[in-house]
Amino acid sequence: MTSNAWTRWPSHEALGRAGITPPRRLLAWVVRLLVLGMLLGGIFSSSRAHGWNTLVGVGVVLVAAALGWSFFRTTLQHRLWPSLATVLLLVAVAVPAQSAGFRLLALVAWCGCVVISLERLPLAAALPVVAPALGLYAAVNNDSPLTTVITGVALVLGGYTLRLDAEARGGAQRLLAQERAARTAEAESAALAERARIAREIHDVLAHSLSAQLVHLEAARLLIERGAEREQILDRVVAARGMARDGLEETRQALSALRGELTPLEEFLTRLVGTAAAAEVAVTGERRPLTAEASQAVRRVAQEALTNVRKHAPGAAVRLRLDYGEHQVTLDVRDSGGPPGELAGAGAGYGLLGMRERAELLGGSLEAGPGEEGFVVTLRVPA
């Protein structure tokens, strides 16, 4: 046993009442009341119970009860010297009871001091209590020396066993408190992650959509100042209106995603490519539900990739393939290339940089670059 084990207090959880089941508390109170009744009954039924002797016996019981309660309070607060003084007084007050002829009362007090000292005090501090208590017990006990030794060993083992039991209960209470703290931290972390996801959705949908509209409206303003033709101005206004309409639709989709009302991913991709003859969607692998974050990442990248095709290669054939792998889902968007459109220089749509960041947050990756014919965007996210 290490020196720390000799000087260490039982934990506050071990000394307190937390974690004690109601049946066990009831049993403890029943035992206390039985011991108190037995002591008082022994006092009044004794042949020495008359006059001052009776008062001494009852007084010892009351003082012992008060000292026991004080000992439990001071040990709970880990106050060493008050605890030692209290329990040593408890050993001492049993001496008048023995002198008055109430041997049973004295024996119970000394045995109790041995048990509660080993249970609630540091082991090194319990020894100055255990030694005199057992010595007084052995001096007045009428049993044989062997029986007295066995009883003393049993008291020591009983007190230490109660200590171990209390420490185990205290350890369970600490683990429970740590688990509750971990659950609280996990809930707070989940709330923060959800807020971050909502922030990304708002940024991806509104910030980019509004910035694209500003580009077209600013262009329309410059055309008006330069006296451009009506058709040129109208084209910019119509383009801004289209961006606003697309942004509104995507905002609705984002809100549906936040509510958990997402349409099936395959259905979404089919709607996204529309009825264009030059676009096709293929789904391979075993289809299964994806997490909201993974599903949103696939949807956003598909939207961005098709928007880039319409901007940079309008009329190009598009092949969109969604593959459900064993541990990940892969979205591959390829176009056949073509001449750039009028909006090739506009800052509309969702940036591939933002989509790459979204994929990396999920532990995935996004690759975008020229392919054999046109442009290729490949997203991989764990699923």
DSSP string, 101-143: T-HHHHHHHHHHHHHHHHHHS-HHHHHHHHHHHHHHHHHH--S
* Greatest extent of the chain over all pairs of C-alpha atoms, in Å: 126
Exposed, middle or buried by CB within 10 Å (0-12, 13-18, 19+), for 340?
exposed
CA–CA dist 260, 255 (Å, integer): 9
113 residue type, one letter = C
User: Would you call 323 helix, strand, or coil by DSSP?
Assistant: strand
CA–CA dist 141, 152 (Å, integer): 11
Q: Determine if residue 13 is left, alpha or beta; phi over 0 gives left, psi from -120 to 50 gives alpha, anything else beta.
A: alpha
pLDDT for 277: 52
CA–CA dist 299, 379 (Å, integer): 11
> What is the fold, at CATH topology level, of the domain defined by 263-383?
Heat Shock Protein 90 (3.30.565)
Among candidate residues 106, 161, 105, 99, the one with its CA nearest the CA of residue 132: 106
pLDDT for 380: 93
Six token digits for residue 12:
């506050």
pLDDT digit of tens for each residue in the chain (383 aa)? 555 778 888 888 888 877 677 776 777 777 766 766 666 565 555 555 555 566 666 777 788 888 888 988 998 898 999 998 998 988 888 887 777 777 777 888 888 888 889 888 998 888 888 999 888 888 888 778 888 889 889 989 988 998 888 888 888 888 888 888 889 888 888 878 777 767 776 666 676 677 777 877 888 888 888 888 888 888 888 888 877 877 777 777 666 666 665 678 888 888 877 755 577 888 998 888 888 778 888 888 888 888 778 777 777 888 899 999 888 999 999 888 766 544 444 444 446 777 788 788 888 999 888 877 788 899 999 98
Q: Report CA Rg, the chain.
A: 41
290 in Cβ contact with 298 (< 8 Å): yes
pLDDT for 343: 45
47 in Cβ contact with 80 (< 8 Å): no
Residues paired with residue 370 on neighbouring β-strands, in sequence order: 375
CA–CA dist 204, 359 (Å, integer): 13
User: Would you call 281 helix, strand, or coil by DSSP?
Assistant: strand
CA atoms within 13 A on the CB side of 76: 11
The domain limits of the chain are 3-142, 263-383
pLDDT for 52: 59
Please tell me the pTM assigned to this model: 0.51
Six token digits for residue 323:
């593959």
Q: Determine if residue 375 is left, alpha or beta; phi over 0 gives left, psi from -120 to 50 gives alpha, anything else beta.
A: beta
Q: Treating both helix axes as pointing N-terminal to C-terminal, what angle do 352-361 and 292-312 enclose, rounded to 10 degrees?
A: 160
pLDDT for 49: 53
CA–CA dist 9, 125 (Å, integer): 10
